[in-house]
Structure formats: C-alpha cells, structure tokens
Amino acid sequence: MTTLTADTAPVVKPRKEKPRLGDRLLFFYTWAIIIWLCLPIGVMILFGFNNAPGTGRINYTWKGFTLRWYQHLFDDPALGDSIKASLIIAVVATIIATVLGTLIGLALGKYRFRGQGTVNLVQFAAISSPEIVMGTSLVALFVQLGTGFGYATIIIAHVMFSLSFVAVTVRSRVLTLDPALDEAARDLGAGPFSTFRLVTLPMIMPGVIAGALLAFALSIDDFIITNFTAGKISTFPLWIWATQKNGVPPTVNVMGTIIFAVGLVFAGISALTARRRDV
Amino acid sequence: MRGLKGRLAPYILILPGGLWLAIFFVVPTILLLSFSLMQGNEVDGYQLTWHWQNYTDSINQYHDQFVRSLYYGGAATVIGIVLSYPMAYWIAFKGGRHKNTYLFLVLLPFFVSFVLRTIAWQFLLGDNGIVVSTLKDLHLMSSDGHLLQTSLAVILGLTYNYLPFMVLPIYVALERVDHRVVEASYDLYASRIATFRKVIFPLSLPGVFAGVLMNFVPAASDYVNATILGGPSNTMIGNIIQTQFLQFRDYPTGAAMSAMLMAILLIGIFAYARALGTEDVLEAAAR
C-alpha cells in the first residue's frame, strides 16, 4: 500500500522508485496474456502423448501417457507426403523470393528513382491484401490461362506473397549502410560485381537471412492462398484441414510439436548469429 | 556513361521481382474484377457480358455474411487493441533487458501452424473441454451452455490468432517514444495520467493504426476460425467465397464477392495509408 502514497508525491525521478502497484499489475497482466497465447501450444504438445484408443480420431480426453504416436508417426503415408510437399514448396519458394526480394530491397534502399512510389505502393498492396482476394485472383488467372493447379501454381503464389516481405526487410538493412563504403570499393578498383559480392552482400546478409527465414515461415504455414491454388496437392496445413472434419489424430499434434521444436532451434540459431555479428 | 548506368541500375534490380508481382499480383486482381462481370461455366467457358447481376445477387443472398465478417473482424480488432495495449506498454517501458524475451514469447504461437492453433481452441472450448467445464463448475454458465459453435468462439479465435500482430506494432511505436519527451512532460508538472494521455498515447497511434490494419484485414476475410470454431449460423464471407470457388466452381459469383470484400477493405487501407503516409505504414507493417 505504500506504493500508492508515492503517487501523490511530486514525480522527480521515476527511475529510482520502487515498482509501483500499477506496474506490478501490468507485469502480472502481461504474463497472463502470454500464458493465454501459449495455452493452445501446451494442449497441442500434451495431446500428442495421449493414449487415445484405436486410430486416435477421438482425441478429446486424457487417456494416459504414450509414445505410440511418435513411433507410428508415418503410418498414414498421406501425412509424410504432405510434409514433403510443404518442404519442397517452402524451399523453392524461399530461394526465388529471397533472390527477387533482395534485388528490390537493394534498389529501394540504395537509389532514388522515378517510379519508386509505384513500387512501394504495389508492395504495400501485396503485403496488406487479404489472402482470400489474392487466392481467388490467382484462380482467376490460372483458370483463364487453362494451366491447371499443382506445385508450380503453389510456388508461384508463395513467391508472390513473400517477396515483398523480403524486400522490406532487406531495404531497412540497406538503409543502415554507409554509401561511402561502395565508393571506397570502386575507388580501390573493384567493378560493380565485385563491389556487390565483397562489400554490399556481406553487409546486407543479416537482412537477407532474416528475409529468407520470414519467407520460409510464411510459406510453410500458409493455408488460405494454398487452399485456392493447390489443386490435388496436399501440404501439411491442407492435410490438417482435410482431416479436421473427422477428428484430428494425435499424429498431427506430434508433427506440430516437431515443427514447433525445429522452429525454436532455428530461431535460437538466428538470434545467436545476429548477436555475434553485432559484437 | 556511368550516369546512364547508374540511372538504369535500380530498374534492372527491380525488373525480375517487379515482373513477378505484376504478372501474379496486379494482373490477377484485374482478371478477378473482369471475372466478376462474366457469365458461363467451366465446360462452355466464360464470356464478359458485364453481368452486374453477380454483384446484386450475392449482396441479396449473402448480406448476412458480409455484415458478420465486418462485425467479427471489428470485434476481434477492438478486443485485440484493449488486450494488447497494456502489454505492449509494459514491455516497451518496463521490460528492461528482457524486452526481446517477452517479444519472443508473444511470437511463440507463430511457431505452430495457424490451422493447428485454431484446432487447439476447438479442443479447449469443446463441451468436454476445460473452459466449459470450469465455467459450469463455477456456475458462470448454465449446465446446457456451449461455447463452441457460437459467435463468441469465432471472435475469440480471431482475436487470439492475430493478437501478436497487434502487440508488435504498438510495441514498436511505444519503444520509439523519446524518453526525454516523457521526462519533459513530468518536469512541466504533468501527472502520470496526463503524460500518458497527452504525450505517450498520441505518439503510439501510428502503431495502433498499423495493428488495426494487420488485424482487421485478415480477420474479416478469414474462414478458418468460422469453420473450426463456429457453426452454420456463424459463417463469414470467406466461407461463402471458398465454397463458391472450390466446391461449386461458380467463379463469377465468387469473384464478385471477393471483389466486393477487396473494395471494402482496400478503401479502408488506403484511407489509412493516406492519413499516415504509405512508408510509415509499410515500415510498421514490416516490423
């Protein structure tokens, strides 16, 4: 209660005071929201260990601990196939989107040119457009062209929606560079390509890697646009969507848990490398 | 020579990615609009007959879903602001050296697939789930009450799924608030509340706007939450568009609805972008 009386005293240096009651409440509030955010993750992990009977379609109540679903993860080959499809699409789309997005990011960060506003506008639209509109628009295109749907159409879509994110990430990195470095390299006799390879690229690399990780994450988790452009291909999110109507087996939780763990490892690695670069 | 090269360089860099966006984003959007005015079917092909009836028909038939989408999306966004703001404020001003840890925890749900997260809520809110049974034990809910298949569940799911996109931009805006400005306000004998109301809150508004954008647009056009957490009476416009495109393959009607959804949302987005300057919003959105 002493903290309350501090409120009436004139505020001099807020830094030196004991934590206020309000701050302490906000601290608990923040943790309450974090727990709320993590609740479904806990449920997912826990019920991957649930000893649900039979094929596990009725996985609603806790029936005891088992590692059965980890051992029989790929008993349904469709799950493995969907993971394979997701990985192939994410890798290819990430490579293309990273290259194209990095080039755009460089142009936007390094140069002032006519049409810059248009490029910004199109990117802004591509980032903020509702996914369902982009998905239906691509259906309109592919139906008109008569191409059918498959890996190619999914990858085209994924590159389309992730390349702007790469470009924006790279651009903000390029903006932090000193243009004098480029000039110094030229003055020392480096051509434009060796300047890029030896000076610019290493310096923007953290931005490029961050952009690539973002593109990969967006691609592997995309549901709505993929749902429209996939045809008969089933990625992991599409496969979950299809099975969800008849009850989700614990193997889905197991796969989700594995992806969660892998994601955490990647995040840890990228955080560590970023820290080392900054030092 | 170098001048010309220098002037061409940005265009050469932009060309491949720009073409990709032009062919697979700009052109399809125009095609969607033209599709929405066509008549025909998959076998006979489609003709552009300026069939405006696609629009009037879909409004007449599905205005409930349009209204519901805006209502659910709006509710999720408003709840999102109320839930996120205190948290973003605390992390930005009191997070100290653990700021990044808190942000990481906020982003943790994104390491789980979107569909899977929503299914986890279906599980938690189910009639045998812990939420309903706890509420019933506390007599906060009648014994025959449900949570799943109600609009409340859909709004909760939408709020949950997009909350990190609200916390982050608000946090970024608050983080950028210059502490000297806040101290100047105290030095001028402003109370804590007055300082918040007149200094901190106005400076954080761009973050709130960006968060609104990043919540309302995906929430209003979503159909995953409505399908998994809602029932037949909670369908949103996304559900209808999805059914038209992927089940009935009635592309013109679906395109008309998609175009209307786009029009409603884009008018809102550009009004925002205009008011704040495109780059600011882009930057906030990218963080």
Q: What is the CATH number of the domain that holds B82?
A: 1.10.3720.10
pLDDT 10s digits, A99-108: 999 999 999 9
pLDDT band at B287 (very low <50, low <70, confident <90, very high): very low
The shortest CB-CB distance from A29 to any of B87, B213, B217 is to B87
Q: A141: helix, coil or strand?
A: helix
- Give the number of other Cβ atoms within 10 Å of residue B280's Cβ: 14
Q: What is the pLDDT of residue A279?
A: 45
Q: Is the pLDDT of residue B90 over 90?
A: yes
Better-predicted residue by pLDDT, A247 or B86: B86
The shortest CB-CB distance from B115 to any of A101, A111, A237 is to A237
Q: Are residues A185 and A229 in the same domain?
A: yes
Q: Are residues A174 and A39 in the same domain?
A: no
Task: Establish if A193 belongs to a structural domain.
Answer: yes
Contact B35 A106 (CB under 8 A): no
Q: What is the pLDDT of residue A277?
A: 59
Question: Which residue from A minimizes the CA distance to B219?
Answer: A130
Task: Establish if B136 belongs to a structural domain.
Answer: yes
Q: Are residues A42 and A177 in the same domain?
A: no
Residues A212-232: what's their mean pLDDT?
95
Q: Give the closest-approach CA distance of B250 to chain A in angstroms.
A: 11
pLDDT 10s digits, B9-36: 899 999 999 999 999 999 999 999 999 9
Global pTM reads: 0.89
Q: Is the pLDDT of residue B1 over 50?
A: no
Q: Give the closest-approach CA distance of A259 to chain B in angstroms.
A: 7
Mean pLDDT of chain B: 89
Question: What are the residues whose beta carbons fall under 8 Å from the beta carbon of B19, sequence distance 6 or more?
Answer: none
Cβ atoms B121, B160 nearer than 8 A: yes
Q: Are residues A231 and A163 in the same domain?
A: yes
Q: What is the pLDDT of residue A216?
A: 95
- Give the number of other Cβ atoms within 10 Å of residue A110's Cβ: 19
Q: Are residues A11 and A143 in the same domain?
A: no
Which residues in chain A are contacts of B35 at CB distance < 8 A?
140, 144
The shortest CB-CB distance from B120 to any of A34, A40, A122 is to A40
The shortest CB-CB distance from A119 to any of B18, B27, B214 is to B18
Q: Give the closest-approach CA distance of A200 to chain B in angstroms.
A: 14
Task: Output the domain CATH number for residue A205.
Answer: 1.10.3720.10
Contact A168 B18 (CB under 8 A): no
Q: What total number of domains does chain A contain?
A: 2
Q: Are residues A81 and A154 in the same domain?
A: yes
pLDDT 10s digits, B163-209: 999 999 999 999 999 889 999 999 999 988 999 999 999 889 889 98
Q: Is the pLDDT of residue A5 over 80?
A: no
Which residues in chain B are contacts of A116 at CB distance < 8 A?
10
Which residues in chain A are contacts of B174 at CB distance < 8 A?
none
Q: Are residues A229 and A117 in the same domain?
A: yes
Task: Establish if A165 belongs to a structural domain.
Answer: yes
Interface probe for A, chosen from B1, B7, B11, B13 (most Cβ of A below 10 Å), is B13
Q: Are residues A31 and A83 in the same domain?
A: no
What whole-number distance in Å separates Cα of residue B222 and Cα of residue B5? Answer: 46
The shortest CB-CB distance from A127 to any of B102, B238, B285 is to B285
Work out how many CB contacts closer than 8 A connect A with B: 255
User: Nearest Cα to A122, choosing from B214, B273, B209?
Assistant: B273
Question: What are the residues whose beta carbons fall under 8 Å from the beta carbon of B138, sequence distance 6 or more?
Answer: none
Residue A1 is part of which domain span? 1-47
Residues B257-277: what's their mean pLDDT?
81
Q: Are residues A13 and A113 in the same domain?
A: no
Interface probe for A, chosen from B12, B24, B110 (most Cβ of A below 10 Å), is B24
Question: Which residue from B minimizes the CA distance to A101?
Answer: B17
Q: Give the closest-approach CA distance of A184 to chain B in angstroms.
A: 16
Which residues in chain B are contacts of A129 at CB distance < 8 A?
25, 217, 262, 266
Q: At what angle do helices A116-128 and B201-220 cross, to 10 degrees?
A: 60
Q: Is the pLDDT of residue A125 over 70?
A: yes
Q: Are residues A81 and A22 in the same domain?
A: no
pLDDT 10s digits, A129-161: 899 999 999 999 999 999 999 999 999 999 999
Q: What is the pLDDT of residue A14?
A: 52
Cβ atoms A44, B121 nearer than 8 A: no
Task: Establish if B229 belongs to a structural domain.
Answer: yes
Least confident of A2-6, A21-25, A240-244, A272-276: A2-6
Q: What is the pLDDT of residue A28?
A: 95
Contact B90 A23 (CB under 8 A): yes
Task: Establish if A260 belongs to a structural domain.
Answer: no
Least confident of A214-218, B164-168, B263-267: B263-267
What whole-number distance in Å separates Cα of residue A118 and Cα of residue B188? Answer: 45
Contact B108 A30 (CB under 8 A): no
Residues A199-207: what's their mean pLDDT?
90
Q: Are residues A234 and A146 in the same domain?
A: yes
Share of chain A above pLDDT 90, in %: 59
Residues in chain B: 287
Burial A73-87 (b: 16+ CB within 10 A, else e): beebeebebbbebbe
Task: Establish if B165 belongs to a structural domain.
Answer: yes
Q: What is the pLDDT of residue B88?
A: 96
Share of chain B above pLDDT 70, in %: 93
Long-range contacts of A209-213 (CB under 8 A, 24+ apart): A209/A270, A209/A273, A210/A169, A210/A173, A210/A270, A211/A98, A211/A101, A211/A102, A211/A105, A211/A165, A211/A166, A211/A167, A211/A169, A211/A170, A212/A94, A212/A97, A212/A98, A212/A166, A213/A266, A213/A270
Q: What total number of domains does chain B contain?
A: 1
Query: Dmax of chain B from CA atoms?
Result: 82
User: Nearest Cα to B109, choosing from A210, A217, A41?
Assistant: A41
pLDDT 10s digits, B200-251: 998 898 899 889 989 999 999 999 999 999 988 999 999 999 999 999 999 9
Task: Establish if A114 belongs to a structural domain.
Answer: yes
Q: Give the closest-approach CA distance of B186 to chain A in angstroms.
A: 7
Task: Establish if A232 belongs to a structural domain.
Answer: yes
Cβ atoms B14, A116 nearer than 8 A: no
Task: Establish if B252 belongs to a structural domain.
Answer: yes
Q: Is the pLDDT of residue B270 over 80?
A: no
Better-predicted residue by pLDDT, A59 or A179: A179
Contact A240 B116 (CB under 8 A): yes
B222 φ/ψ sector (left φ>0, alpha ψ -120 to 50, else beta): beta
Better-predicted residue by pLDDT, A16 or B274: B274
Which residues in chain A are contacts of B7 at CB distance < 8 A?
113
Q: Are residues A90 and A228 in the same domain?
A: yes
Residue B233 is part of which domain span? 53-286
Q: Is the pLDDT of residue B154 over 90?
A: yes
Interface probe for B, chosen from A37, A95, A214 (most Cβ of B below 10 Å), is A37
Contact A41 B108 (CB under 8 A): yes
Task: Establish if A56 belongs to a structural domain.
Answer: no
Question: Which residue from A minimizes the CA distance to B33?
Answer: A137
The shortest CB-CB distance from B17 to any of A36, A101, A156 is to A101
pLDDT 10s digits, B118-130: 999 998 998 878 8
Task: Establish if A228 belongs to a structural domain.
Answer: yes
Task: Establish if B86 belongs to a structural domain.
Answer: yes
Better-predicted residue by pLDDT, A61 or B98: B98
Q: Give the closest-approach CA distance of B185 to chain A in angstroms.
A: 11
Question: What are the residues whose beta carbons fall under 8 Å from the beta carbon of B130, sequence distance 6 or more?
Answer: B124
